[in-house]
Structure 1
Amino acid sequence: MTVAVKDLFDVEGRRVGAGNPDWLAESAPAAHTAPAPAALLAAGATIAGIARTDEFAYSLAGTNGHYGTPPNPAAPDRIPGGSSSGPVSAVALGQATVGLGTDTAGSIRVPASYQGLYGIRPTQGAVPTDGLVPLAPSFDTVGWLARDPETLLAVGRVLLPSRDRRPFTRAIVSDDLFSVASVQVRSATGVAIADWRGESDLPPLEERSFDAACLPAAVRDFQTVQGWEAWQANGPWISRHWDSLNPDVRSRFEKAAGYTVTDRDRASVRLAEFAAELDRILGDDLMLLPSASSVAPTRAEASLGGPVVERARAATFALTCIAGATGRCAVSVPVPTSDGIPVGLCLVGPRGRDLDVLELVARLGGHEAR
């Protein structure tokens, strides 16, 4: 297999750019390859190339004013999704078998949804993040994408710790969560849910209510902790290079610079309470929900951080923070739509059961083939 590596990972002899030309100019060639790409190389893969990222991985759009926006071959007039935009586009174009990226708040799941690919955010801490430019270490994960579920699983067998596996007894769905998404996304994922119900060898679905009114507060708390950590990780450099940032990313770092330790601590407490309630609801079950709140905005709408992208980002965050806050694994699965614009269904699984979810997704792929 060939791997497109997001431009955040150390690769021996290469400089990391983090989506910013000034950062690239000041970087020294890496002395070692980060554990995740090194493990894939040791398993027989080759690196096809280093792929673009949104600056410092601080976006879900995939736009980059320095280098241009990577293509979305599944919907050429639409943005690719970020921040793992480069690896995703490389896989969608057939330039690589695997896209190796990161997911802090949706940066694998969202572009997978926008481009009709399979993508996983693993359990928090399951894959080492050493040798990686951090965004928010409490939430950063190393994830990957592929065109088919078998490849996604094959990579998981290399990168994920091996554990005893067991089937899931149920999958939870909640109309309250699906209501966060657009009509277009609800329609496509609704068909996928109906198809799931018709398969006797898939975990039975169970409807549960979920108070979606709590999500905006959880998003604010997640973004507060994320922002505070992002500033701790990159603020000293950014404070000397404000003019090098694209406007959308600069505005996020400007907000992040204002967070205090007290802000972080209070948000962390509330976020832990939110995560505990989710754990109470989910237990050892799956949860199904949209991977993103909408289809990919058009390039014309986006215009690098425009209001359409920001609205889509805010609504999508309400869905992606469920796995992010709890540290659970999450896999985005492409579902067909009537107009051909990609949409993703997300399977959120218990911590440590990543391979169980990946094997279930491979079974889903077999159902689609039939």
Structure 2
Amino acid sequence: MNISDRLKQLKPSATLAVNAKALELKAQGKEIVSLAVGEPDFPTPEYVREACKKAIDDGFTRYAAVPGLPDLREAVAAYFNTFYNAYAAMENTMVTNGGKQALYNLFQALLNPGDEVLIPGPYWVSYPPMVQLAEGVPVVVPATADAAFKVTVEQLEAHRTEKTRVLLLNSPSNPTGAAYNKAQMDAIAGWAIEKGLFIISDEIYDQLVYAPAEHVSLCSWWTRYPEQVCVVNGLAKSFAMTGWRIGYVLAHADLIKAMTKIQGQSTSNVCTFAQKGAVAALSGGFAVVDEMRAAFRARRDLALKIVGSWPEVVCPVPEGAFYIFPDVHRHYTKAIPDSATLCTALLEEAGVALVPGAAFGDDNCIRISYAVDEATLTSALDKIAKVLFK
């Protein structure tokens, strides 16, 4: 059997691979704590689940329009308008199978072979492969822990070439939790617009930003430059709906039409009754999100207190999401020379599943998700320390 060349260059998702290994060890009877997957431990809100059940009972189980149910697209537009004054219409929105498909559709719609995409690093593991699947070239612009994992305009300009077409931003970031402030974001967006680049802003963690930091959306830039900016979001993180696969996009109507062509030939519509649940989520208020945010912040502070006591470990304070990304490379040894080897040792010796920083473009670090209860988090971090400092 001949597998296509485009697939031969791709690696499986590191986060899902680690989770699969953890599940395998659990099945063998080993006690494993997973801090590897970016998934809230809270249940999907009851009123969202009830709306989905009602849709099923009402027989709402047929094909639907590819870009999404009209009432959900209207709710998505209302979300962007309410939170970020986007002045969006339904025609500027589209519903996708998770934020991941939204990004995949965008790269397929925007890139020609050889086009370059600037990706600030550390980056979410799927960004470079999705660019490659669209025959584009991912160009990583690295930022270090000492720089709080944020890139500058000068760094971006140094990596720009005549082939650069797209800038991909993710704030708050997976894996670092770094969030750009308004001055930083405006400087980067202004530079990109001036250089004629298209900006994709992945804002999936926009509701999980911790005061005094505030989420800075590029919706305002989309309003002024709708042909050069789009915003990707979804319900997975904010409403604990990871398995529902509800993502959405704010973009120019012509780009929405192009993405609809792609989705129409790949997955067609998103699950119809899940969309009804999504309407309930976006229209049912955000009190449950406020509660989850408060819990995540407490867990973040606990994790930082513990990790902050570790000698020769650098860990910038994450302003959003639910990860910390400590730089632990000063504790590498001949036996444990990199993040992948360290995470293997942590899984086998401590029973704690983490994702190596190499998967996110920074081999000096490990990603720790604090989307677990405080007792579990404390215990897991103690186990990590015992292996790291043995």
- Both structures adopt the same fold (TM-score exceeding 0.5): no
Higher relative contact order (CA 8 A, sep 6+): 2
TM-score normalised by structure 2 residue count: 0.29
Flag the structure with larger Rg.
Answer: 2
